[in-house]
Amino acid sequence: MISLIMGFNSGLQLLALLNVNKASVIIYGKMRSHVTKERRMIEYFNDVMVMWISYSMICMTDFVRDDMAKFYNGFMFIAIFGVVVLGDLCYISNIIYTRLAWNNKMERNKEKYIKFTEELFEKSKEFDQG
């Protein structure tokens, strides 16, 4: 959409891309659409990393004349992308581990819970009859 609005001026396209990234971070920060702090923090992390990737895209255009700088910037681009994937995988694995630990805890205490509810049911029967 940015390329349709800006035409063939690559400089304006890059500036628009960077400003859209900044605006999305600001709008997201004001809306607080996620309930938990952890989800907001991972969203901020992803948005900041997208901004870094956008900044590194500038170094791969004709604004940078040195080919070696573009070459090394490609490695930086891959490293930033790897950090994003690693960060998101750590967050997802933490969620999975927490839920599995909670389910295991509930399974271990299931018999105690069933026994407790049966005792309460028997006491309520005695109370109703007496």
4-50 pLDDT, tens per residue?
565 666 677 777 777 887 888 788 777 777 778 888 888 888 888 88
Domain boundaries, the chain: 2-129
Q: What is the pTM of this model?
A: 0.61
Backbone angles phi, psi at 34, to 5 degrees: -90, 145
Question: Model confidence over 110-125: pLDDT tens digits?
Answer: 777 778 888 888 888 7
| Distant-in-sequence contacts of 16-23, Cβ < 8 A, 24+ apart | 17/54, 17/57, 18/51, 18/54, 18/55, 18/58, 21/47, 21/50, 21/51, 21/54, 22/51
Cα separation, 26 vs 34, in Å, equals: 15
SS3 98: helix
